[in-house]
């Protein structure tokens, strides 16, 4: 089948190619999407939002995190304007990958405060155990106390909880019983229902063997049993395994009170659309980069226009699969690069220096895919910024 020919715009630039050469790339005619939600939504949708680094701060990026708080909160305002929730201080914000617990808590406090000024703006915040160094975790009780400390801090700030997967628990937990002890104890104390976060080891290698086994079917049995036993304390579960069928299988096994939030950045469009047996809500890192498109697509779905939903959201999937390709944990680089191209920040600098985590070729292909999906909000700005950045990599216009 021949691919559709996209109409071209007047913008063009030189992009590197895999054979070591350079090609002239002409942008497609851009698509425009509303800057605010139009209509309503029938799915709960969170964007796991990134943080904007402060490139002017006198800090060694590998050792400390400097945040531009104004731009960071402004990005969350952008997400809320589009009717999406913010999943705060998660891995997209480089939590545990450059962003420590102290800075994460300040981020949570600022975000919750900003959300409250907007009335019904939705924000859930990550509570984990990352202030407890894995090498210092000696017992399951240490893990429980670490969870309790962070939960208390988020609740004191007035926040709702996303219960993050714990590297310390992955180290110490040897059985389903160990995980049940931790989650039963922690969930019994939370004020409001939480979102359970199951993050696969493709996102964080330190989480290998979560739920006490490397066998995913057994892990799912354990997770489902714990969640369903605590259904009154669980708003939903976010699954990030990049495995469509496993998510569907788990979704069908959950207590009716528990939502499934897809974390599958490879297959989110079809999982959100669902089937006659159910659907997934969304808690996605890619929604940071595609928030206006996601908002519009979800509004089409709520209006009964499933074809329109797929027409808009479907073209974003190749970009997402590229951004989240292995090593998946480096996906944050592509997310922040998109924010730079689209004018949400004036630089391509990241916490931990992770702007260096992807190659020039990778980010050049990201530009092509973003253009084809209609995701470059201002093609002139994006072209100029891409050209300027490529010059720092030795590729002149």
DSSP string, 119-175: SS--EEEEE-STTS-GGG--SHHHHHHHHHHHHHHHHHTT-EEEE---HHHHHH--S
In total, how many domains does the chain have? 1
Quick: pLDDT tens for 17-63. 999 999 999 999 778 999 999 999 999 999 999 999 999 999 998 88
Residue 189 forms part of a structural domain: yes
Residue 378 forms part of a structural domain: no
Residue 99 Ramachandran class (φ > 0 left, ψ -120 to 50 alpha, else beta)? beta
Q: Summarize the chain as % helix, strand, coil (round to 5).
A: 50, 15, 35
Residue 395 forms part of a structural domain: no
Residue 358 forms part of a structural domain: no
How big is the chain by its Cα radius of gyration, in Å?
A: 21
Residue 148 forms part of a structural domain: yes
Instruction: Name the nearest CA neighbour of 378 among 347, 345, 328, 341.
Output: 341
Rounded to the nearest 10 degrees, the angle between the axes of helix 360-372 and helix 379-392 is: 170
- Average pLDDT score over the chain: 95
Percent of the chain scoring above 90 in pLDDT: 94
| Residue 264 belongs to domain with CATH number | 3.20.20.70
Residue 43 forms part of a structural domain: yes
The answer to whether 47 touches 9, Cβ cutoff 8 Å, is: no
Residue 26 forms part of a structural domain: no
pTM of the entire structure? Answer: 0.95
Confidence label for 4 from pLDDT (cuts 50, 70 and 90)? very low
- For residue 124, the cross-strand partners are 87, 160
Residue 2 forms part of a structural domain: no
> What Å distances lie between residue 271 and 94, 260, 311, CA to CA?
25, 10, 15
| Calpha distance 35→360 (Å, rounded) | 30
Quick: pLDDT tens for 200-247. 999 999 999 999 999 999 999 999 999 999 999 999 999 999 999 999
Look up the domain containing 278 and give its range: 36-352
* pLDDT for residue 369: 97
* pLDDT for residue 3: 41
């Amino acid at each position: 089948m021949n691919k559709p020919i996209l109409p071209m715009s007047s913008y063009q630039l030189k992009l590197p190619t895999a054979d070591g050469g350079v090609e002239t790339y002409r942008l497609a005619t851009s698509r425009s999407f509303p800057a605010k939600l139009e209509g309503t939504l029938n799915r709960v949708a969170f964007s796991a939002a990134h943080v904007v680094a402060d490139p002017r701060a006198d800090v060694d990026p590998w050792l400390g995190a400097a945040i531009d708080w104004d731009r960071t909160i402004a990005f969350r305002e952008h997400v809320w304007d589009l009717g999406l929730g913010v999943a705060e201080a998660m891995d997209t914000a480089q939590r545990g990958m450059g962003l420590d617990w102290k800075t994460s808590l300040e981020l949570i406090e600022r975000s919750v405060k900003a959300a409250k000024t907007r009335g019904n703006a939705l924000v859930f915040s990550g509570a984990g155990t990352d202030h407890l160094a894995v090498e210092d975790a000696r017992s399951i009780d240490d893990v429980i106390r670490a969870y309790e400390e962070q939960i208390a801090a988020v609740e004191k700030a007035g926040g709702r909880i996303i219960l993050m997967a714990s590297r310390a628990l992955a180290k110490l937990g040897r059985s389903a019983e160990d995980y049940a002890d931790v989650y039963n104890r922690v969930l019994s104390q939370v004020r409001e229902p939480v979102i359970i976060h199951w993050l696969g080891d493709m996102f964080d290698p330190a989480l290998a063997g979560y739920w006490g086994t490397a066998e995913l079917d057994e892990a799912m049995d354990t997770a489902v049993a714990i969640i369903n036993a605590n259904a009154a304390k669980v708003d939903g579960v976010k699954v990030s395994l990049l495995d469509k069928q496993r998510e569907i299988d788990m979704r069908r096994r959950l207590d009716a009170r528990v939502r499934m939030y897809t974390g599958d950045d490879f297959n989110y469009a079809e999982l959100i659309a669902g089937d006659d047996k159910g659907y997934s809500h969304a808690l996605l890192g890619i929604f940071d980069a595609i928030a206006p498109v996601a908002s519009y697509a979800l509004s089409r779905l709520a209006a009964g226009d499933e074809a329109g939903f797929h027409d808009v959201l479907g073209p974003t999937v190749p970009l997402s699969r590229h951004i989240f390709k292995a090593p998946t944990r480096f996906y944050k680089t592509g997310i922040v690069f998109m924010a730079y191209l689209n004018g949400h920040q004036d630089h391509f600098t990241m916490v931990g220096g992770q702007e260096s985590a992807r190659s020039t070729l990778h980010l050049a292909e990201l530009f092509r895919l973003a253009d084809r999906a209609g995701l470059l909000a201002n093609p002139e700005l994006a072209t100029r910024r891409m050209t300027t950045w490529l010059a720092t990599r030795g590729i002149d216009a």
